[in-house]
Amino acid sequence: MDLIIIIRPVILLASSILIILAAVGILRFKDDIERVLYARIHILGIADVACILALLVLGEPLLALTYFVLVPFVSHAITNAHYHGEGD
């Protein structure tokens, strides 16, 4: 039981650091780079993993599994819509 009390804050801290690093990575990209949306979606993958870890630590495995399954589909749909909408 004491081990859980130590591990939970460490994983939450690691998750928050990953989210901050992902936010810094998104802000560093300039809009003049070709295909910047793909790079931003890739960086947001780090935040997705951090959120999944945080949900697992907080005792929400079903929500973490749902997030783990749905996020790649949503990311693909966003980038696909952006790619096919550029030519219009």
> Cα(48)–Cα(5) distance, rounded to whole angstroms?
24
pTM (2 d.p.): 0.61
Tell me the pLDDT band of 53, cut-offs 50, 70 and 90: confident
Q: Which of 74, 73, 2, 83 is nearest to 36 (CA)?
A: 83
Domain ranges of the chain: 2-85
What mean pLDDT comes out for the span 1-23? Answer: 80
What is the arithmetic mean of pLDDT over 59-73? 88
d(CA 33, CA 37): 9
